[in-house]
Structure 1
């Protein structure tokens, strides 16, 4: 049956406008004010006063299947994405086994397509096992559907390995999405190095463990011409390096995670493992630099780094807990509440960073509402305050400090190819 979303504030062609959205056969048929339809053949849903957007796009999630399904499955991860208004995601390759051969990669893609409730694209590893210096068959991975290459969770320690990988990725025309971490400087820390870590008696992670690899990789990217994408930027030094590289014409894009925009290490008052993530929450000056980097275009997009864990994974304080924070279900609402309602970002800016910008960076067929294109659409309530409790998450993981925090921007419904994949219960 056809569907009409009636009277919403629609984010369309980069602007907000009051309009109706007509969907038929999984495709957007029209976006215009006051469309006339036959209510006997078209399901009319009144979304007056609600926000209607293209399905959000997240180019950095971890779904843990196969091998770690106690943390998350493709089904639960994609349901969590839909709960947060995301209809397109890109998954990282740190599953077990790592899909580092064409055969394993093909199996992973098939698993995503079979079990996913949203559009799931797959990153290939850069190297075998994510930690070796043996580069995967990039030509084969692209043919099988890879949208990029990433060893996320591990920094590539050998500069020659990164240089060779960049050359090959440039030849096949796909980005390398880098987790930038010099392991020797990282030195088994658990939070940002600085006064807060000292007060809590916890081992710190130096900011230069990130920025030193960013500097190295930007030089290598300039030399190879690859599209180099910096995952989860966390320091002012990294932002400055990326800004300078863009001015020099280096083909670089960068993402920031919601938690690095929302929190600094000043928010860590106790040894609370829900604040343990990699890269860690940095200083307040770093956080402000990330915000400025988004506003001036140095950072291109927002991606969640959705990293679910079990309660046992997160037990025992920072020194023993796993790194990672969930983000799919809280990203839009937390950012809307903290930045749009306070006038720091405009709503169109935030939506751009969560839709068309990530889709463009990874060349994905998503991120905007277009007549004739698949009906991937999300509807949000911007007026009613709500609070997530641990039992409200559809992800298996609820490892986030946002639980219990009042927010605005709750997802009301999410459509993928015109099919309802999430709807808020009355």
Structure 2
């Protein structure tokens, strides 16, 4: 069956393409891009006023499976991705059991085949059990398809261990994704350390803990030659450290979450656990540094760090709640509201940050629309205004920091391998 996305503006930055035209899909592949297609015998979607882009790729999510399906599972997590216009996610290893061997990785791949709505890449653990003491089965996992290695959720505290992990990852031609918070400084904290934490009487997580961790691991990356990717950067100094490393030619990249770009620790004054995450939402000066890092290219990707928890886990006093929020369904709207509608970034640059660059960093297919290639496509209505309510989301959690906020911009159609998996906000699988 031929499917035509008609009258949209094709935004395909990897090919330098930004033009109005039709996209024809057949047998799971893109047949043609641009021009006016013959509609005879085809199903047609009218994308007038919309952008037609490569499928969005979120390179940092937590699907929580295996072992934590009360929080999320592969089906609900990938439903949320489809609802947000995301056609591929990369899921982290901090599951139960930890994804630290080829055996566990293959079991997750099987579950993805059985219940995944979008494509899922898998990130293997650096250390067995995320304990930072013994290397995981990195070689076997790389052979089985792991795209990178990370102990995300925990910092690798031993510099010597991290050096060895980087050396091994470099031998396997894989990057290390670094949760950079020195826990000797941050372990007891619940929010950003600063004026607000002092006034609230809440123990803080100092930005210096992130800065020290980033500095150490940049040095180790330069020592070993391993590609270091700093996860969810949140502090002004960390952004500057990465900026200077890039100027030196170091193999260092980074990402930022949509929520760190949108919120500051002022939102925590009501002790609402929905804003509790690690690293924490920081002060306005840090948010401005993150915005500048996006604008000047220091930051390579915008991600969600989608890390939902069961409702009963979050519905507790602030300091008792776990870190993490759901973000797959709000990320695009947040970024469009924050950057596109304020004329800070073009839609082409947003697609680079949310599709093209993540595909390049993970070395996976996607991030570009090409004839003959899989039809992983997102159609975005930039002017669609909607108010976020947790009860309306596909993720299992009802808690979102965007609750009651009106965003402008939304994915209205998501195709994976040519199959419509979301249309007008309704996930079809």
Q: What TM-score do you get using the length of structure 1 for normalisation?
A: 0.97
Q: Out of 41-50 and 355-364, give the one that drifted further.
A: 41-50
Cross-structure match for 2:66: 66
Q: Check the 8 A contact 1:14/1:352 in 2, yes or no.
A: no
Q: Out of 23-32 and 180-189, give the one that drifted further.
A: 180-189
Cross-structure match for 1:76: 76
Tell me by how many angstroms 1:15 deviates.
4.0
- CA separation of 1:14/1:85 partners in 2, compared to 1, >3 Å: closer, same or farther? farther
Cross-structure match for 1:139: 139
Q: Check the 8 A contact 1:61/1:305 in 2, yes or no.
A: yes
Instruction: Supply the distance in 1 between the matched residues of 2:201 and 2:178 (Cα, whole angstroms).
Output: 30
Give the secondary structure class of the aligned counterpart of 1:97. coil
Give the secondary structure class of the aligned counterpart of 2:326. coil
Give the secondary structure class of the aligned counterpart of 1:8. strand
Cross-structure match for 1:290: 290
Q: What TM-score do you get using the length of structure 2 for normalisation?
A: 0.97
Q: Check the 8 A contact 1:156/1:162 in 2, yes or no.
A: yes
Tell me by how many angstroms 1:425 deviates.
5.7
User: Gaps (5+ residues) in structure 1?
Assistant: none
Give the secondary structure class of the aligned counterpart of 2:269. coil
Please give the per-residue CA displacement for 1:141-196, whole angstroms capped at 9, x wherever unaligned: 11000000000000000001100000000000000001011111003111000001
Instruction: Supply the distance in 2 between the matched residues of 1:284 and 1:161 (Cα, whole angstroms).
Output: 35
1:262-341 matched pairs, under 5 angstroms = 262-341=262-341
Give the secondary structure class of the aligned counterpart of 1:312. helix
Cross-structure match for 2:27: 25
Instruction: Supply the distance in 2 between the matched residues of 1:164 and 1:25 (Cα, whole angstroms).
Output: 45
Instruction: Supply the distance in 2 between the matched residues of 1:46 and 1:424 (Cα, whole angstroms).
Output: 12
Cross-structure match for 2:97: 97
Q: Check the 8 A contact 1:113/1:120 in 2, yes or no.
A: no
Please give the per-residue CA displacement for 1:370-419, whole angstroms capped at 9, x wherever unaligned: 11110011112222311122221001023221121111212211110000
Instruction: Supply the distance in 2 between the matched residues of 1:204 and 1:194 (Cα, whole angstroms).
Output: 7
Q: How many residues align?
A: 424
Instruction: Supply the distance in 1 between the matched residues of 2:168 and 2:425 (Cα, whole angstroms).
Output: 48
Cross-structure match for 1:388: 388
Instruction: Supply the distance in 1 between the matched residues of 2:52 and 2:402 (Cα, whole angstroms).
Output: 24
1:104-183 matched pairs, under 5 angstroms = 104-183=104-183
Give the secondary structure class of the aligned counterpart of 2:320. coil
Tell me by how many angstroms 1:338 deviates.
1.8
Instruction: Supply the distance in 2 between the matched residues of 1:215 and 1:346 (Cα, whole angstroms).
Output: 32
Tell me by how many angstroms 1:213 deviates.
0.8
RMSD across aligned C-alpha pairs, in angstroms?
A: 1.2
